[in-house]
Each structure stands twice: as structure tokens, then as C-alpha cells.
Amino acid sequence: MQRVPAYSFILPALCAALAASLTAAFWWWMGQPVAMPPSPLAAGEKIPCVSYAPFRGDQTPLDPATRIPGAQIDEDFAALKSRTGCVRTYSIEHALDQIPGLARKHGLECPVNHVCNSPAFLTRSDLHMEMVRPGLAFYGLEPVAGLEHGLKPAMTWEAKVSVVKQIEAGQGTSYGLTWRAEDRGFVAVVPAGYADGMPRHAQGKFSVTIDGVDYPQVGRVCMDQFVISLGDNPHGVEAGAKAVIFGENGHDATDFAERLDTINYEVVCRPTGRTVRAYV
């Protein structure tokens, strides 16, 4: 029988023991407390401003029924006044509308308070405070379904037709040939794809407007373009024609969003990539 040298067993065992020791040492080191860095504030100096969230114990902002007792907020501010001269908070939910008054009671500044987004800005004038933060309303789009505040849409997303081509009955277009022409006619390419913000799943769900006429999108939405059907092109659409995806002289952003089964808040954020923003 061939004898195996003893060191052939000892060396692997030593390596395994060393690896185990190093691993144990590493995790011991990771578990050591880290000294807090020195405060950037001078002795006695107060924090310029702090963000205040009053929730304690089982109180959670995720529960709409949560209400923070005024006495609890008052107690917090009594403690905070020795550490800061300013507090910030962001919501009237959970009875936090008490905060400005209670903060000022303790000498804490609450110079600018705001709780109103677009819907609240348009429907709750009693909550305007010192500032409001409308977002969608700036785009001139109605933020409250079923209401009408007379807003005027302010954003248009458009692109110029890059090419017009004739297509025969039965011929398809774009990746996978998921759409085929029923009759002989024309299609046009619009250079706006999913890299420019047009959702790929928008295939077959929307149309563009050219000189007041709607033309349906057909086939796959590509990375940098999509295709529209011109039928037999009775209006003579040519390369360079302006195709309105949504906005002035076309469908509004809310209609476009509904066709894509989303909200107008999203679609006005979508244009990206090669999209050039022009402010007029």
C-alpha cells in the first residue's frame, strides 16, 4: 500500500483553521461599536433646522386613522427648543396641522409652511398657508377627476414625420410584423420611441394628430420610432409634417394617458432622450 505523507493532511487543515480564524476575527471587528464623529456644531450652538416626524411606538404614517395628540407634539417642541430654532414638517394628515401653532408657542420658527399639492391647491383655499406646491396644475391639466377648474393645457409633445412609404395589402411593419395592412396604402415613421419616453406597451393604443387629422399608431413601438397608418393618404402627408402626440392641436395629455391606462401625471414626465424642450 502506498503511504501518504502526513503533511498532505496537515497543510489543508492548517489552511482551513486559518481561514476560520480570519473569518471570526473579521466578524468580531465588524461588530465593534464605531465612535461617533465630533459634532460640527460649536458648544451651545443649535441645529439650524430639523425635520420633525412625531410618530412614537405604534403610531405610523401608514395608517390613515393615526392621530397625533396635541399634547405629544407640544412635549416634543418643549424638548426641541433647546436644540434648534426651526422645524420642518410636510403634511396635515394625522392632525399635523397643529404643528405651526405649537412650534411658535415654544419660540420655534415655522416661517414657510405648505401642505397643498395641485388637488388641494384648487379645492382647499383654507390650507394654502404661506406656500402651495402645485405640480400637475402648472401643466394645465385637471388633477381632480370629475371636476373642471378651467385650466389650459400648457405642454405639447410632437415630432416631425421622417419618411412616408407605400405599403401593399398584407404587408407588415415594425418588429415581429404584429400589424399588417388590410389594403394598399401608406404608412409614416415618427421618430419617437421608447428611448424617447414613448412606452413600448403603447402599441396600437394611441393616435397622433397631423393638421387636425388623427392617424392610428400601428405595429411595435421601437427604440427610436413608431409607425402610423395614413390609409390612402388623402391629405398628402409628407416627411417633415408635424405629428402631435399630445397637446396643442391634438389630443390632450389626459386622453393620451387614459388610452395607455395610466395617469396624466406620468405622461407629462415621459418625454426624454432626444426630446428637445422649448419654452414659449
DSSP conformation letters of the chain: -PPPPTHHHHHHHHHHHHHHHHHHHHHHHHTSPPPPPPPSSPTTPPBS-EE-----TT--TT-TT----HHHHHHHHHHHTTTBSBEE----GGGGGGHHHHHHHTT-B--------HHHHHH-GGG-TT----SGGGGT---STT----------EEEE--EEEEE-TT-EESGGG-EE-SSSEEEEEES--GGGT--GGGTTS-EEEETTEEEEEES---SS-EEEEEET-TT---TT-EEEEESTTS--HHHHHHHTTS-HHHHTT---TTPPP---
Out of 49-53, 81-85, 89-93, 219-223, least confident range = 89-93
Looking at per-residue confidence, does 124 or 86 come out higher?
Answer: 124
Does residue 73 sit within a domain? yes
Give the model's pLDDT for residue 43: 67
Does residue 272 sit within a domain? no
Q: Are 91 and 162 in the same domain?
A: no
Query: What is the pLDDT of the chain when averaged over all its residues?
Result: 87
Does residue 84 sit within a domain? yes
Query: What is the mean pLDDT of the segment spanning 238-245?
Result: 98
Per-residue pLDDT tens for 163-213? Answer: 999 999 999 999 999 999 999 999 999 999 999 999 999 999 999 999 999
Q: How many domains does the chain have?
A: 2
Give the model's pLDDT for residue 42: 66
Looking at per-residue confidence, does 135 or 80 come out higher?
Answer: 135
Give the model's pLDDT for residue 101: 81
Q: Are 190 and 112 in the same domain?
A: no
Query: What is the mean pLDDT of the segment spanning 103-132?
Result: 85
pLDDT at 92 over 70: no
Does residue 19 sit within a domain? no
pLDDT at 231 over 90: yes
Give the model's pLDDT for residue 121: 93
Read off the CATH number of the domain in which 230 is found.
Answer: 2.40.37.10
Q: Are 126 and 166 in the same domain?
A: no
Give the model's pLDDT for residue 88: 74
Does residue 187 sit within a domain? yes
Query: What is the mean pLDDT of the segment spanning 158-162?
Result: 98
Q: Are 112 and 162 in the same domain?
A: no
Confidence of residue 100 (pLDDT cuts 50, 70, 90): confident
Does residue 181 sit within a domain? yes
Give the model's pLDDT for residue 2: 57
Q: Are 180 and 122 in the same domain?
A: no
Does residue 192 sit within a domain? yes
Give the rounded percent of residues in the chain with a pLDDT score beyond 90.
Answer: 52
Give the model's pLDDT for residue 95: 59
Give the model's pLDDT for residue 1: 53
Out of 30-44, 230-244, 258-272, least confident range = 30-44
Does residue 277 sit within a domain? no
Per-residue pLDDT tens for 4-29? Answer: 555 556 777 778 888 888 888 887 87
Range of the domain at 90: 50-139
Give the model's pLDDT for residue 41: 62
Give the model's pLDDT for residue 145: 83
Give the model's pLDDT for residue 8: 59
